[in-house]
Amino acid sequence: AARSAGCGRVRVFDWSMRERAERVMDLETNLREGLVRDEFVLHYQPILDLATRRLRGVEALVRWRRVDGELVPPGEFIPAAEQSGLIIPLGAVVLTEACRALARWRAGSLGDSPFFMAVNLSARQFTQPDLVKQVVTALRREAMAPADLKLEITESVLMEHPESAMLKLRGLRELGVSIGIDDFGTGYSSLSYLQRFPIDTLKVDRAFVSGMEEQGNRVIVRSVVSLAHNLGYDVVAEGIETAAQLDDLSRLGCDMGQGFLFARPMEESGIVALLDRQDPPALT
Ligand code: C2E
Ligand code: MG
Ligand code: MG
Ligand code: MG
């Protein structure tokens, strides 16, 4: 009896594994088709100077617009894209489109006011041997100033292979591109590496910002701000949702922020409307 129960359990396990594998393959097939059909669109979330409330730049955030009009958030397909390797062509689309959008804004009311476009890079994108070449190509095609591009990577991507990450970052830095560390505080950064990497910005993870009424999170945010400033980096707080969080962050000397309090990620037309309003625009 024990033996047959064991067999049964094995069979059930096999089924669920197979179903899961099929679902993953379906998603991969759909992603592949989505790429061919050009179904990926960028939304842009404003990033503000907390002292002046003026727009300093945007973060490009990809969405998948399905044929039925549904907008699928990145959390639902980036992991599969990363696993299957489709993140490479998808990431190339994102980089190209982000640079094009900024070139359009510069040709319009943005002009040559200081402004950056932040683009997320996943682990697999960052470790591509020809990443620097791809970035050069994208910048040249749009005649974009390298300093206008900020690449966001997470600390875990850097700390996994710090020596090769160092070389990659130096290559990007030589181009003049700036580097932001995303979701800072959620990984395990070696401080000795952190201070050696050519980094421009630390982005405090939303989890610490949204929990700032708790003393523990407040202490973490305060420490990240002072760590960043002591190392010569700017700090961006992500996920600012309340006026109280904004007040706190301003008082702690946080340089920039993004969050639903100011604006959700929006279509290009929304950003253009903001840029048209004034030069450079303030959001509150
Ligand atoms: P992230 O880079 O940390 O991006 C910030 C995320 O926080 C975005 O979610 C944004 O909509 C959300 N957010 C901003 N402010 C608030 C707020 O006040 N409250 C709340 N609840 N959320 C806020 P989104 O667009 O769903 O993106 C999720 C993640 O997917 C990103 O996290 C990033 O890791 C990844 N991602 C997005 N676009 C790309 C891309 O083009 N390439 C790659 N490789 N990853 C991407
Ligand atoms: Mg990001
Ligand atoms: Mg982030
Ligand atoms: Mg985050």
Residue 122 CA, closest ligand 1 atom number: 44
pLDDT surpassing 80 at residue 282: no
Atom number of ligand 1 nearest to Cα 152 = 2
Nearest alpha carbon, ligand 1 atom 23: 239
Mean pLDDT over each residue of the chain, to the nearest integer: 92
Q: What is the arithmetic mean of pLDDT over 105-113? A: 95
For ligand 1, atom 41: residue with the closest CA: 62
Q: Is the pLDDT reported for residue 9 higher than 80?
A: no
**Cβ(71) to ligand 1 under 6 A?**
no
Separation of alpha carbons 257 and 17, rounded Å: 42
Q: How far is CA 170 from CA 66, 146, 262, in A?
A: 38, 14, 34
Q: What does the pLDDT look like over 190-212, one tens digit per residue?
A: 888 899 999 999 999 999 999 99
- Averaged pLDDT, 52-60: 96
> Which atom of ligand 1 is the closest one to the Cα of 125?
44
Residue 17's pLDDT is 76
Ligand 4 geometric centre to CA of 137 (Å): 28
User: Ligand 1 test: best mutation among 61, 186, 202, most atoms within 8 Å of CB?
Assistant: 61
Q: How high is the pLDDT of residue 284?
A: 61
212 lines ligand 1 (CB under 6 A): no
Considering every ligand atom, which ligand is closest to the CA of 258?
Answer: 1
Q: Is the ipTM of this complex over 0.90?
A: yes
- pLDDT-derived band at 149, boundaries 50, 70, 90: very high
Beta-bridge partners for 57: 47, 116
Q: Are strands 40-49 and 55-65 parallel, antiparallel or unpaired?
A: antiparallel
Residue 1, pLDDT > 50, answer no
Answer whether 62 contacts ligand 1 (Cβ < 6 A).
yes
Examine the pLDDT at 10 and tell me if it is beyond 90.
Answer: no
32 pLDDT above the threshold of 50: yes
pLDDT tops 50 at residue 2: no
The answer to whether residue 121 scores a pLDDT higher than 50 is: yes
Indicate whether this model's pTM tops 0.80.
yes
**Separation CA 76–CA 72 (nearest Å):** 7
- List CB contacts of 242: < 8 A, sequence separation 6 or more: 261
Distance 79 CA to ligand 3 centre (A): 15
Question: Does 31 score more than 90 pLDDT?
Answer: yes
What per-residue confidence (pLDDT) applies to 12? Answer: 59
Instruction: State the ligand closest to the CA atom of 75.
Output: 1
In terms of pLDDT, which residue wins out, 193 or 150?
Answer: 150
CA of 242 to the centre of ligand 3 (A): 18
